[in-house]
Structures are given as structure tokens and as C-alpha cells.
Chains A and B, each alone.
Chain A
């Protein structure tokens, strides 16, 4: 079950991208998605595509994993692309039928949207594949830190995320076990009409919920027994540190932005 999920999976490695600080990667990822919308002609898109492929090559992870990341979303992407193609007018019109028209502008727009989608997915896959979930949690906690001023319980949120991440495999395994146990008693999954299919989910969900409550209670006991009080001042075992390569990554992003702005026609 877990093998199907590419998103949120970590691939251990020793590449430069792996060694970047998680905060750098997270901020850079958001920044990249932001500047993606600056692109408006083929030169800018070519630059961004080149950049993305260079980053992928740097991770040293096989392209297959990135393609796998796009696969589940491919229908959504194609749907958007087709809509763009059919409804954008302007330029030479090749074919028209009622309100629909395939024009040169439409085709180009469709390709741009396609590239944009794929690049966003590639870059976010780079981040999740090269960063451990814990490092990501730490990075999120760090980025949320300013919100402490607004009385946001940042420490509790970080703990909740990390406990949630830690229990994903455990709960997956349990779901699998419950499904097998129910199957052994004659429940059939994925058959019949929609209503029937929804009904058989109940014998999975109810036990799963009940056991989650029990787990939560045990976990709370164990945490309290080890001195967790919630509001106390805690020290941290994992400490994120900026290195020189984080600075380089920042400079590369600045260069990329400058390049984009110069190539852009307004």
C-alpha cells in the first residue's frame, strides 16, 4: 500500500540537494512556485525547465520517480490543458466549432500550462524525496515561529505533525490487517454499486477509529511518564544548521529570478 505513495516518501542519498538545509529547500520550493508565474514566453519557460532538470540531475535520483509523481495527477493536468486549448482565442484559428476553437494562442497556452504543472510537481517531488519527514517538520516549525507572537501554539503543532507522520506506517499496517481480517469473515471490498462499496468501509473505519483512540491514550500516558507537560520549555535534539551550500542555493535562485525578469516581455 505504501509503495504506491511517492509523494511524501524519502529517498536516502548523499547528493548536494540532500545536504541542503530543510528550511532552504522548503522556502526555495515555495519561491520557485512563485516565480514560475513570472514566465510568459518560451525563453523563460525554457530557462525554468532547464533549471528544474539540473536540480533533478543533482539529486541523483532516477527520473522514474519523478514521472511516478506526475502520474496520479495526469488526468487533472490534461483536463486543464484541453480546456485552455479549447477556450483560448487569438492568433491563427485552425479549427472552430461553436464556442470551441483551436487556435495557435490556445495551443501555446496549453503547452505553457502543462509545463507549469509538471515543473511544480517535479520541484515539490524533489523536496519530499530528498528531505526526511522529520526535517520537514522541523523546517515547518521554524517557518511558523514568527506566528508565536499571534499566540499560535507552534511547538504543539510541530509535535502533532511529527507524531502524525510517525504513525502513518503503523496505521497503514493496521488498516491492512483489519481489511484482511474482515475479508476473512466474508466482507468484499470494491464490489457492487457505490452505496454498497461505501457500506463495506464501515467495518474498516470503526475498528480503526477505536484502536486510534486506544493508541492515543497509551501514547499520552507514555509521553506524560517521560515528563511531557505540554507548556514547558523544551530543548531540541535535532538542530537545523545553515551551511555554505544554502547560501549558494539562495544565490542561484536570485540569479534565476534576474534571468527570468530580463527574458520576460511585458
Chain B
């Protein structure tokens, strides 16, 4: 049972002045090393879940458990040690005056000794490919670069889980691609659990498992492929499907018989190519 690294058990949360629950009776578990994507449109409660996961908010009802710790006033700092978080706005989460100061900020808080700190800052910057910007100020970086620094700041703390709370939503397509690539490479190197909260459907394709949120409840759950096969349902709750799925739908409508729905461009190309040859 130690596989369930993160566990939410019938969690509900209601903001003080809000008439409705932001999150209603949500339960799910995440295994160690898994990449879970949580999608939903604005106001579906996904960002609230992110804040519940590291104790920036406490559940009104239910229980959150991370590793061996049950979320509560006493365990909050132990939990935050295990959970790294990257937020939406690249400007507002940059604490340090330069890139390396920002990466070091979390380490300073945890009382890491100086020599070890220098080493870990170096390594974390190397890992996200920002080494040559170590002395740059945030005002001289692009949005994507700032988010990569934020990821480095989290990596330097060596957490077990990284939560990306719409980390790419304020970036241009290039910055977005850079950040996603950084996360993909990082996951290859370390066994790290990623929970990404997003409304960018192309990001979801990379995940192992997807939870679709709608109006504060868990609406659908499955692998990206399973989820996007229910294109009708996704559209009904206002989310839509990634480009590649809608392309395949259109091809089917045009009478091209595709044997298998795929989420990878390569696999689709293979199919079309085979079809073309068999004609």
C-alpha cells in the first residue's frame, strides 16, 4: 500500500465567502513516480486542489496524506519539504535578485550549509539548462526561462513530488515547449512524481493518467487515450480535445478508416502511410 504516495480522501473545500464548495468530495491517489495531469476549465477547483496538496489551504472536510504525513498544522513543514510547487505567474514567484539567489532561496530556508548549497544550486541550474544565466536578473529573462528557474529552485530541494500549478499558462508557445521539455528530461533522470494542473490539453498527452475536474468534482479519470476517446463528453463540459484527436475525428468523418486512435503524431503518420500504401 506504500505505493499510494499522495492520497486525497473525500476532500472538500469551501472558500469563506463563496456560496458553493470549490472542491466537493474528491478522492484520488497518486503513485510514486507517476505523472498525473489534472484538467478542468476555470473554476473547476483544480488550483484549489494544488493548494490543498501542500497545505496553503486546509481541507474543510476530508483528509490529505502525503508520504507518511497527514496534512495538519504540525506536519505542514514536513509536507512542504516533500512537495515542490511551481506557480502560474513567473514574475510573482521569483524571490531572489538573481537566478542563483532564487534557486538558493529554498535551500537557505531549510538551513542547508553553504558548500552543499553552492553545489546543489549548480546542479539544479545545470539540470534545467540555465547554467549560463546564473548571474542574470529576472528582468532580463523570458517567461519560459523564469519558469525553468522556478523548476530549478524546486529541484534543488530534492522533493518527492513536483506540482505544476498552471505553470505554462502565462507563457508563449515556445516558452511552454521549453518548460515541458525540461520536465520530461527531469523525469527521465530522477524518479519524481509530477502532478500537473493545466488547461492546456497538449500537455496532458504526456501524462500517465488524467483526472478531469468539473464544477469541483472528479468527472472523468483514465489514461490520456481513454479520456480523449470520450471527445463528446469532453466538449460537453467545455474542454475540447487536443489537435491530434480532432484531426483523427475529421479524418474518420471524411471516410478514412483509422484502426486505432492515437495521441502521438508518429503513430498517426504511420497509420496514414500504411493506408496510403495499401490503397
Q: Is the CB of B87 within 8 A of A229?
A: no
Interface size class of B (residues with CB under 8 A): 35 or more
Asked if residues B138 and A166 are in contact (CB atoms below 8 Å), the reply is yes
B80 at the interface (CB under 8 A from A): yes
Interface positions, chain A 115-155, Cβ under 8 Å from B, are 132-134, 137
Complex contact A166–B95 (CB within 8 A): yes
Instruction: Find the B residue at minimum CB distance from A12.
Output: B135
A185 at interface by CB-CB < 8 Å:
no
- Find chain B residues with CB under 8 A from A4 CB: none
Question: Is B214 among interface residues, defined by CB-CB distance under 8 A?
Answer: no
B92-121 near A? 1/0 per residue, CB < 8 Å: 111111101100111111111110011001
A265 at the interface (CB under 8 A from B): no
A223 CB-CB contact with B under 8 Å = yes
Residues A221 and B80 in contact, CB atoms below 8 Å apart: no
Q: Is the CB of A166 within 8 A of B94?
A: yes
Tell me, yes or no, whether B139 is within 8 Å of chain A by CB. Answer: yes
Q: Mark B188-227, 1 if CB is under 8 A from A, else 0.
A: 0000000000000000000000000000000000000000
Query: How far is the CB of B106 from the nearest CB of chain A, in Å?
Result: 4
Shortest B82–chain A CB gap in Å is 11
B 249-264 binary contact with A (CB < 8 Å = 1; else 0): 0000000000000000
Q: How many residues of A contact B (CB 8 A)?
A: 32
- The smallest beta-carbon distance between B27 and chain A, in angstroms, is 23
Bound-state Cα–Cα, A127 to B124, Å:
33
Does A156 count as interface, using CB distance less than 8 angstroms? no
Given contacts A134-B97, A235-B117, A237-B121, contact A221 B108 (CB under 8 A): no
Contact partner of B106 (CB less than 8 A), chosen from A221, A226, A236, is A226
Cα distance A239–B80 in the bound complex, in angstroms: 26
* Secondary structure type dominating chain A contacts: helix
Q: Is the CB of B93 within 8 A of A222?
A: yes
Contact B80 A170 (CB under 8 A): no
Contact check, A237 vs B56: say whether CB atoms are below 8 A apart: no
Give the distance to chain B from A148, nearest Cβ to Cβ, in Å: 18
CB-CB under 8 A from A132, the residues of chain B are 97
Tell me the A158-189 residues at the B interface (CB within 8 Å): 162-163, 165-166, 169-170, 173
Interface residues in A185-228 (C-beta closer than 8 Å to B): 214-215, 218-219, 221-228
What chain A residues lie within 8 Å of B95 (beta carbons)? 163, 166, 219, 222-223, 226
Using A170-B139, A221-B87 as known contacts, say yes or no to A237 and B93 having CB atoms under 8 A apart. no
* B77 part of interface (Cβ distance < 8 Å): yes
CB neighbors of B among A87-133 (8 A): 132-133
11 A-B pairs with C-beta separation under 8 A: A222-B92, A223-B95, A226-B106, A226-B109, A227-B81, A232-B109, A232-B111, A237-B100, A237-B108, A237-B117, A237-B121
Which positions in A face B, CB cutoff 8 Å? 132-134, 137, 162-163, 165-166, 169-170, 173, 214-215, 218-219, 221-229, 232-239
The 9 closest A-B pairs by CB, nearest first: A237-B104, A222-B93, A218-B92, A169-B139, A226-B106, A227-B109, A225-B85, A134-B97, A166-B97
